[in-house]
Amino acid sequence: MSHNNILNSLGSCGIYCSKCFAYKDGIIKQLSSDLKENLGNFDIYAERFVNLLNEAVFEKYPDFKEMLNHFSNVECGGCRKDECKLFVDCKVKQCSKDHLVDFCFECSEFPCTQHGFDEHLEKRWLTIQNKMKENGVQSYFNEIKDIPRY
Ligand code: SF4
Ligand code: SF4
């Protein structure tokens, strides 16, 4: 993947948008849409299977379908193009633009306290940025590109 494509896939915080459930071109949306399509009219069968197979798990199908629908309809274009739908208090996106950096580790103020993250996300941000700082963006990207984000 080229440097520009890597840049488009990662927020300035370093989190991998392409594997986010909310990303419109992401694998989670793609697989959810495929599964939804392949399940067709499973609603009717799920109802029947409760008694036919005597398996109560099929009672949960409507909730599962609702989740699949949710995953299938997400529309985020990623941090570099869109507003993040998850971390609404994030200050990093605008701040990195103001500081003319692609990632926080390139900023003279890093590590700062103006990211707007909660404790959990701050920890993750610090770990990611330090990895990129030590080994480079490409090396960090290679490490995460094939593993689940969650
Ligand atoms: S900007 Fe936020 S919501 Fe959108 S894909 Fe990236 S992490 Fe997910
Ligand atoms: S001031 Fe902090 S949040 Fe802003 S770009 Fe620098 S390191 Fe990132």
Distance CA 61, CA 93 (A): 38
**CB distance 17 to ligand 1 below 6 Å:** yes
> In this structure, what token pair is assigned to residue 139?
């090396």
Please tell me the distance between residue 31's alpha carbon and the centre of ligand 1 in angstroms: 18
- Please list every protein residue whose CB sits less than 6 Å from any atom of ligand 2: 91-92, 95-96, 99, 101, 104, 107, 109-110, 112, 114-115
Mean pLDDT of the chain: 95
pLDDT of residue 5: 84
pLDDT of residue 8: 87
The ligand that comes nearest to the alpha carbon of residue 113 is 2
**CB distance 92 to ligand 1 below 6 Å:** no
Cβ-contact 95, 28 below 8 angstroms? no
- Residue 66's contacts (CB-CB under 8 Å, 6 or more residues apart) are none
Q: What is the pTM of this model?
A: 0.89
pLDDT of residue 11: 95
Q: Is the pLDDT of residue 96 over 90?
A: yes
